[in-house]
């Protein structure tokens, strides 16, 4: 396959997802399995692309990486999804109803506009939460495990300490009244962009795509092994546009990723990571 065709795979995937939700009848959109099926199909597709269009040999998937990635992806969909829906989204929806602060006019806008409003709003919050994580030590301790991954793959966006995964799932989009298919399109389009932005796929999308959306090129730079200081750019999970607006965009890419001594952390180490300063102090005292 020609490289130029591989490069349009990310925008073509977004177009396919948008076309699906734009054309799907309401009965299909409302089925409880439709949203997870679209999300999982996208991930499987990009994971398979890694096998055909590898970007870096050093990032090649293996059994341990795959098993860990599947665990975190399931954890993200099931546990984190449940927690953020129960603790944040449902209360927000109730608040919206009680205070009568709906935005019914949003649902009058064209489908694509609704999708982008939800995506850019959600990503605006993500941007600041992620940037705070790189600027305040207690938050960094929850986010650091995501930066200790030593290779990038389709599902690596789901890897992290559970506290961080919960914090990064938070948003105010439950306050927005949009059509259900537009809401699901924004979830799955955002997910697809973030999946490609972590994937070991040799696809460099067109300039217009990289102007608005995060690419593996720019996100790998965010994961660079150079230094902690060098990771403080390109915070956008799927919308890099906010980095351009707020001055944190940086051009470039990195093939070598991972923090500190680039030692791969186990799931247990990732979950205990925020306690590290305290555990180290305790260890030193016991000397
Ligand atoms: Zn980060
Ligand atoms: Zn990442």
d(Cα 211, Cα 228) in Å, to the nearest integer? 25
* Residue 187: per-residue pLDDT: 97
Give the E-state strand segments of the chain in sequence order: none
- List phi, psi (to 5°) of 201: -115, 130
Pinpoint the alpha helices (H) of 100-152. Answer: 111-133, 137-147
Centre of ligand 2 to C-alpha 35, Å, is: 23
Centre of ligand 1 to C-alpha 226, Å, is: 14
Q: Which two three-digit tokens encode residue 147?
A: 């930066």
Most confident residue range from 87-91, 224-228, 246-250: 246-250
d(Cα 120, Cα 90) in Å, to the nearest integer? 21
Q: Is the pTM of this model over 0.75?
A: yes
* Residue 1: per-residue pLDDT: 73
Ligand nearest to the CA of 228: 1
What DSSP state is assigned to residue 104?
Answer: G
Q: Which of 22-36, 89-103, 107-121, 197-211 has the lowest mean pLDDT?
A: 89-103
Sign of CA dihedral 65, 66, 69, 70: negative
**pLDDT confidence bin for 287, thresholds 50/70/90:** confident
Q: Which of 280, 218, 229 is nearest to 251 (CA)?
A: 218
d(Cα 33, Cα 82) in Å, to the nearest integer? 15
pLDDT above 90: residue 82? yes
* Residue 41: per-residue pLDDT: 98
Centre of ligand 2 to C-alpha 158, Å, is: 8
For 205, the 3-state DSSP assignment is: coil
Centre of ligand 1 to C-alpha 133, Å, is: 7
Centre of ligand 1 to C-alpha 188, Å, is: 21
DSSP-assigned beta bridge partners for residue 201: 54
* Residue 75: per-residue pLDDT: 97
Dihedral of CA atoms 116, 122, 128, 132 in degrees, nearest 10, equals -140
Ligand nearest to the CA of 234: 1
What DSSP state is assigned to residue 80?
Answer: I
Centre of ligand 2 to C-alpha 264, Å, is: 15
* Residue 286: per-residue pLDDT: 86
The percentage of the chain sitting over the pLDDT mark of 90, rounded to a whole number, equals: 92
Q: Which of 122, 132, 89 is nearest to 193 (CA)?
A: 122
Residue range 248-258: average pLDDT? 96
Dihedral of CA atoms 227, 247, 144, 257 in degrees, nearest 10, equals -50
Centre of ligand 2 to C-alpha 63, Å, is: 20
Ligand nearest to the CA of 197: 2
Centre of ligand 2 to C-alpha 146, Å, is: 6
Centre of ligand 2 to C-alpha 219, Å, is: 6
CA distances from 249 to 10, 104, 152, 158, 210 (A): 20, 34, 20, 22, 11
Do 112 and 15 contact (CB within 8 A), yes or no?
A: no
Centre of ligand 2 to C-alpha 1, Å, is: 28
Q: Which of 183, 139, 8, 163 is nearest to 84 (CA)?
A: 163
């Amino acid at each position: 396959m020609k490289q130029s065709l591989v490069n349009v795979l990310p925008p073509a995937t977004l177009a396919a997802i948008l076309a699906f939700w734009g054309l799907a009848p309401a009965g299909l959109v409302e089925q409880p399995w439709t949203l997870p099926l679209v999300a999982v199909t996208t991930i499987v597709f990009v994971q398979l692309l890694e096998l055909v269009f590898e970007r870096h040999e050093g990032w090649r998937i293996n059994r341990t990486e795959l098993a860990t990635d599947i665990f975190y992806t399931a954890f993200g969909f099931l546990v984190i999804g449940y927690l953020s829906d129960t603790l944040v989204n449902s209360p927000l929806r109730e608040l919206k109803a009680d205070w009568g602060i709906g935005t019914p006019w949003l649902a009058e806008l064209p489908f694509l506009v609704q999708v982008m409003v939800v995506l850019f709003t959600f990503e605006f919050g993500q941007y600041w939460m992620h940037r705070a994580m790189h600027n305040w030590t207690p938050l960094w301790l929850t986010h650091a495990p995501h930066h200790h991954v030593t290779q990038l793959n389709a599902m690596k966006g789901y890897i992290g300490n559970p506290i961080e995964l919960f914090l990064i799932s938070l948003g105010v989009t439950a306050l927005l009244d949009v059509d259900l298919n537009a809401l699901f399109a924004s979830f799955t389009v955002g997910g697809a962009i973030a999946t490609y932005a972590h994937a070991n796929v040799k696809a460099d999308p067109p300039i217009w795509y990289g102007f608005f959306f995060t690419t593996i090129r720019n996100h790998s730079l965010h994961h660079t092994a150079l230094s902690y200081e060098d990771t403080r750019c390109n915070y956008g999970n799927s919308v890099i546009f906010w980095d351009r607006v707020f001055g944190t965009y940086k051009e470039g890419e990195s093939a070598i990723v991972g923090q500190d001594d680039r030692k791969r952390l186990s799931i247990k180490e990732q979950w205990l990571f925020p306690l590290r300063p305290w555990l180290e102090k305790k260890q030193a005292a016991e000397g």
